[in-house]
Chain A
Amino acid sequence: MESRPLVVVGAGVSGSAAATEAAKAGVHVTLIDENPVPAAIAGLNVPQFFGQRFSGDLRDRALMLERVAAASEAVTEAKAAGVDVQLGTCVWGAFRNSDSSRMLDGPQLGLANDERSWMIKYDRLILATGARDLGIAFSGWNLAGAVGANGAFCLMNRYEASASRRMVVMGAGNLGLSTARMALDRGIEVAAIVDVSNSVRGDVALRTALQREGVKLYMSHTVREAVGRFGDIESVVLVEIDNNSEPVAGTEKVIAADTVCLAIGLVPNVELLSLLGCDLRFESGLGGYVPDRDDWMRTSVETVFVAGDVAGFHEGMVLDSEIARNQGRLAGLAAAESLGAIGKDEALARRADLQAEAVDSASNEVNSNWASWLQSLVTAGGPDIFVCPCEEVTCAELNDLHPPRRLKWKAERQSRRNLRTLAKDSPADSDQVKRLTRVGMGYCQGRLCREQVSMMLAAETGRDVADVPIMSYRPPVRPLPLKVLWPREEAEQVRRDWPKWFSPPRQVLG
């Protein structure tokens, strides 16, 4: 099996900077990025909420590879520094030994492109896996045209393959405002920016410029529903909300649009960190679960470093890419130092001019904003909106712990069970709720519903969302066709020793 001294996952701002920094220090660096993702995977809303709003260009793999490579100066710079850049390659698994598994002779990553998968070993790993779109349910968000900010950004910018024409943006923070800015720059109309707050949270200059170009802001508003006759969004109904997030009757406004963009928040992509056993903690101001790390960006697993949005995202980072870039350079330096490529003194000296710490975000309690959105959307859209669009689990079904609808289960005993009665037996556990209702078990691998399930569990059971344990991540963390996941060449030993179920005794493992 191939072994690499340093693997960097994610070729965004921070990952590219990390790779370049380590390469300049003399390390042989492999930089892996999953973009462009195969169209079939993008259609599953993986890894971002693409909402089917992509053009046919996405199916042209060669064209996409060309565009993705051209879209980033940072990647070009990394290549120039000697980094081995592998685009269109995802990391779907991270494996390590433990009390219950000793079959590996070192930590490994599972990689795949659109055709095949393979395993590699590494000495050091920098995870710059970014963040994903926060999903919050509204009526009609299962229609084509409901997208997320990162999904829309990726389609508009990196892929140049957006099929949106007229967009309503949910969220008037920097994320929403900059998505609207990007849309206008790409010739997409922005019909409205909506926010549940009564004031614009985002950057004043950005907002003023948008308003000057005729973009209307609807503050203290929420989305009642997105409407479309043939599976595609055609219009959006907004409604004003009062101080209790309740919709005000008679204030509905119908706005023609083919795209509704959720730009309420981003959530750090910690799935590989979770598989590797890195300590994670909940930080409301940083988008949810983030890795514990030291001031060299090293996680609790000493060979694993983080940089960029995965280390914690806040809206200040939307307008200031220096934070992510400096975190990347720092992680690159630290990895190079730990590999012995440079000395500690040199690392310290190079570090002096890096301001990698995020600006103070403690005041930015994003979860209260997320919770207001969730409450307003559920109140406006009703209990039958889908929390989990893949498995079609509604808010009411989640609250009632309703068995999957296809079972048509009607027994009276079941109707006495719900999230609150479950919480009396044991603290709310998203994995248990997942098993009972199938919420989060769909093809998007829970990307769209995790956070709102935690928020709903917390709200229903009177707990803080920080106390709801993280819903588990399982490999493959990207959906992979059987024929991609399978090993082309299977180890002879594995084939020979493959047992029947624990029988006969002496052949179990031997």
Chain B
Amino acid sequence: MSVVSADVVIIGAGVSGLTAAYFLARAGRDVVVVDKGIVGGEASGRNGGMISERTDEPAMIPMAVEAIKLWATLDEELGYPTEFTQQGRLQVAVTEKDMDDLFSERDAALRHGLRADMVDPSQIRDMIPGITDRILGGLFFANGGHANSQLTVQAFAWAFQDLGGRLFQNTVVTGIQVDGSRVTSVETSAGAIAADMVVGAAGPQTALMTQLVGVHVPVAPARVEILATAPVPPLFDIALVGNGLYGRQAASGNLLFGGGTHEWADVHLATDPDKPNTPLIRNIARRLAELLPCQADTPVIRSWAGVVEQVPDMMPIIDILECPSNYVVVTASAHGFGIAPATGKAVSDLVLYGETNIDIGAFGLHRFSDIGPDWRAELGWNPIPPRF
């Protein structure tokens, strides 16, 4: 079996792995990306495409702000379209409880120097024609936006290849060779790849991958669902959150909305996870029709599910393992898509310089030092009993 070698081997052709690969290749590194499936075949190409300055996790704000700056020029830089649009993100309240949440979120946003404005129902009706009369108010983030997740991952993959990067799709990682305190090569179904540095960007498979080098990282995979309507004439270009849903009108006219209860999933190193939709799509439909009553007659033409990963404090991990000391772990904990340009840049910086411009102190593995093997049960993150 021929031995391939690279400066950096990245495991996972999702959005975190590909953005890192792109920035590393741009810096002149020889990079190989391997994936058991196709580019963005899992959550990276299946998510809602939402991009926002997040306020629910303050430590993530600098990352999100940096990402939005990068998004603005991505199309031009990559040479391929991402469908990025930045008309803002609107969170609407349909209950008093929602309103209280919006006010506290607004206060948090202002504390962190973000642009966030409360908007009243008449302003909302101008922004989202046909929205329900039940709207009590909203919070508008002018810097938010959305992009086409599928085009974006392919854009990064192609731009990476244009810089000389090598992409091995349908290639399963079967083992990771460690000599002393360093990874020497990644073993795959296409042969061994010798590497100076490894980036594990394996999404839901992150924990399974680090287990190959004897390290426990607390990551729980979960399945989430989205539905798509037939295309309708342009209504709004704002990323919309409300009534328990998040979503957008795509450039193609389709309304894409997701939300609802998630289910913990089982994943494997060699095969794609099963991703069935469930009758929950009916409830998503109901919530969408409640939110946009004018669209009640619009047909739903498809739905899909994706598997995301989540860590106990719901924040990203961007860190180098202590041992093996040349293995970088990156997972965005279900926030991956919107902040991907910034996580990719941070991972690239970490590989190139051992440090990053953005503060990633909150994303270190040290925060899990007290997490035991039963952490999921302790958090109540166990499979749910039958619901339908």
| Residues of chain B with a CB closer than 8 A to A105's CB | 386, 388
**A93, A101, A414, A505 interface centre (most CB from chain B within 10 Å):** A101
The answer, among B41, B83, B162, B310, for a CB contact under 8 Å with A413, is B162
Residues of A close to B143: CB separation below 8 A: none
CB distance B302 to A100 under 8 Å? no
Q: Are A483 and B384 interface neighbours, CB within 8 A?
A: no
Is residue A417 within 8 Å, beta carbon to beta carbon, of the partner chain? yes
**Docked-complex contact B169 and A425, CB < 8 angstroms:** yes
Across the interface, do B381 and A119 meet the contact criterion of CB distance under 8 Å?
A: no
Q: At the interface, yes or no: B297 with Cβ under 8 Å from chain A?
A: yes
Residues of B within 8 A of A427 (CB): 170
A110 on interface, CB distance cutoff 8 Å: yes
CB-CB under 8 A for A479 and B283, given A413-B158, A501-B246: no
Within A458-510, the residues touching B (CB, 8 Å) are: 474-476, 479-483, 485-487, 490-491, 493-494, 497-503, 505-506, 508-510
Q: A99-B273, A101-B263, A505-B313 are in contact. Are A404 and B170 (CB under 8 A)?
A: no
Contacts of B280 in A (CB 8 A): 103, 494
Known pairs A100-B275, A409-B81; A482 contacts B298 (CB<8 A): yes
Contact string against B for A residues 388-413, beta-carbon threshold 8 Å, 1 for contact and 0 otherwise: 00010000000000011011010111
Q: Tell whether B119 is near chain A: CB-to-CB under 8 Å.
A: no
Query: Cα distance A482–B281 when bound, in Å?
Result: 10
Contact B300 A435 (CB under 8 A): no
Question: How far, in angstroms, from A44 to B289 measured CA to CA in the complex?
Answer: 21
Whether B279 and A509, one on each chain, are in contact in the complex, defined by CB atoms closer than 8 angstroms, is no
Known contacts: A413-B79, A509-B261. The answer to whether A479 contacts B278 by CB under 8 A is: no
Q: Which residues of A contact B169 (CB under 8 A)?
A: 425-426
The reply to whether the CB of A179 lies closer than 8 angstroms to some CB of chain B is no
**Contact between A476 and B286, CB atoms less than 8 A apart:** no
How many Å from the CB of A480 to the closest CB on chain B? 6
User: Which single member of B39, B260, B278, B288 contacts A432 (CB below 8 Å)?
Assistant: B39
Q: Are B265 and A100 in contact (CB under 8 A)?
A: yes
Question: B103: shortest Cβ distance to chain A, in Å?
Answer: 15
- Partner pick for B386 among A93, A104, A425, A506, CB 8 A cutoff: A104
Q: 8 Å CB contacts to A: which residues of B287-328?
A: 287-289, 295-305, 307, 310, 312-314
> Among A438, A441, A509, which residue has its beta carbon within 8 angstroms of that of B262?
A509
Mark contacts of B257-287 with chain A using CB atoms, 8 A cut-off: 1 yes-contact digit, 0 otherwise: 0011111111100000111111111110111
Task: Say yes or no: is B251 at the interface (Cβ < 8 Å to chain A).
Answer: yes
CB of B27 within 8 Å of the partner chain: no
Contact with A102, one of B302, B305, B386 (Cβ below 8 angstroms):
B386
| Distance, CA A103 to CA B264, complexed state (A) | 10
Across the interface, B295 reaches (CB within 8 A) one of A436, A441, A482, namely A482
Q: Which A positions have Cβ atoms within 8 angstroms of B?
A: 1, 41, 44, 93, 95-96, 98-105, 108, 110, 117, 119, 275, 391, 403-404, 406-407, 409, 411-414, 417, 425-427, 429, 432, 435-436, 438, 441-443, 445, 474-476, 479-483, 485-487, 490-491, 493-494, 497-503, 505-506, 508-510
Q: What are 18 A-B pairs at a CB distance below 8 A?
A: A93-B277, A117-B282, A403-B151, A411-B80, A432-B41, A443-B230, A443-B301, A445-B302, A476-B300, A476-B303, A481-B297, A483-B289, A486-B283, A486-B286, A487-B283, A497-B261, A499-B260, A509-B261
**Nearest 10 CB-CB pairings of A with B:** A486-B286, A413-B79, A479-B299, A100-B265, A105-B386, A435-B150, A426-B169, A483-B296, A482-B289, A99-B266
